[in-house]
């Protein structure tokens, strides 16, 4: 499903100095896997996640998603791939503050379905994360854990083949983190492919495969017993 070959990423800072963030990353993730990518801050894990999610392009190397060479696509094609195949969950919930939970979940559907479908799909996604009774609440009326569950529902509403989660429990207390991770565990059991960036060993233990990075390189790739 996800295949990276010799991926590099470098940025130019002011003054023309080049900073290498990823250095020759090769990685294959199969359909239905639950993968945690771990690294200290500044070691390339979020950059790698952005490339996998088609939010950024590699400087060099090849990236295939479902057999498609996405590293060669134009911006419009990348946007279409993101909308159809990838659901995103971030540390910050990125919810519109004056918009209800249902309306926030509907946002990825605006250009793809009619109003009736939008309502039904958003309602189903919210029920899947246990918020069927909070559909008409705005974010300020929800706890942090509930807001993240709205964000998860939004990531699911287009029925993507891959969920990408970047530190999804980073802004949550212990109880809310447990609730959120139980949702990811269930989604994996239901067959979803999940790739999660985290610095937490405890969170990474939910995954069936843990990839560790340092200095822009993969230093270990551990598959855990089910």
Q: What is the distance between the alpha carbons of residues 6 and 23, in angstroms, rounded to a whole number?
A: 8
Q: What is the distance between the alpha carbons of residues 135 and 139, in angstroms, rounded to a whole number?
A: 10
**Collapsing DSSP states into helix, strand and coil, what is residue 115?**
helix
**Collapsing DSSP states into helix, strand and coil, what is residue 26?**
strand
Name the residue range of residue 149's domain. 31-57+82-223
The answer to whether 93 and 151 have CB atoms below 8 angstroms apart is yes
pLDDT tens digits for the chain (226 residues)? 899 999 999 988 777 788 899 999 999 999 999 999 998 887 888 899 999 999 989 999 999 998 889 888 888 888 888 888 999 999 999 999 999 999 999 998 887 666 668 899 999 999 999 999 999 999 999 999 999 999 999 999 999 989 999 999 999 999 999 999 999 999 999 999 999 999 899 999 999 999 999 999 999 999 987 6
How many domains does the chain fold into? 1
DSSP-derived secondary structure for 33-63: -EEEEE--TTSSHHHHHHHHTTSS--SEEEE
Q: Is the pTM of this model over 0.85?
A: yes
Residue 9, in any domain of the structure: no
Residue 19, in any domain of the structure: no
Residue 151, in any domain of the structure: yes
Please state whether beta strands 2-12 and 60-65 pair in parallel, antiparallel, or not at all (unpaired).
Answer: antiparallel
Q: Which CATH number fits the domain that encloses residue 108? A: 3.40.50.300
**Collapsing DSSP states into helix, strand and coil, what is residue 90?**
strand
């Amino acid at each position: 499903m996800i295949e990276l070959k010799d991926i590099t990423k470098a940025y130019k800072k002011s003054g023309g100095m080049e900073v290498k963030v990823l250095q020759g990353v090769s990685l294959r993730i199969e359909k239905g896997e639950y993968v945690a990518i771990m690294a200290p801050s500044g070691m390339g894990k979020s950059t790698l996640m952005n490339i996998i999610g088609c939010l950024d392009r590699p400087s060099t190397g090849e990236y295939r998603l479902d057999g498609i060479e996405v590293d060669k696509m134009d911006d419009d094609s990348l946007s279409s791939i993101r909308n159809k195949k990838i659901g995103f969950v971030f540390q910050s919930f990125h919810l519109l503050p004056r918009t209800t939970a249902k309306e926030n979940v509907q946002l990825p559907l605006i250009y793809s379905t009619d109003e009736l479908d939008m309502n039904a799909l958003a309602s189903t996604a919210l029920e899947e994360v246990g918020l069927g009774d909070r559909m008409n609440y705005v974010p300020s009326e929800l706890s942090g854990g509930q807001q993240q569950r709205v964000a998860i529902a939004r990531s699911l509403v287009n029925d993507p083949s891959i969920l990408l989660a970047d530190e999804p429990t980073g802004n949550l207390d212990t109880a809310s983190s447990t609730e959120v991770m139980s949702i990811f565990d269930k989604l994996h059991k239901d067959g979803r492919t999940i790739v999660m960036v985290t610095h937490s060993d405890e969170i990474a233990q939910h995954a069936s495969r843990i990839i560790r990075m340092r200095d822009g390189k993969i230093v270990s790739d551990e598959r855990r017993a089910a």
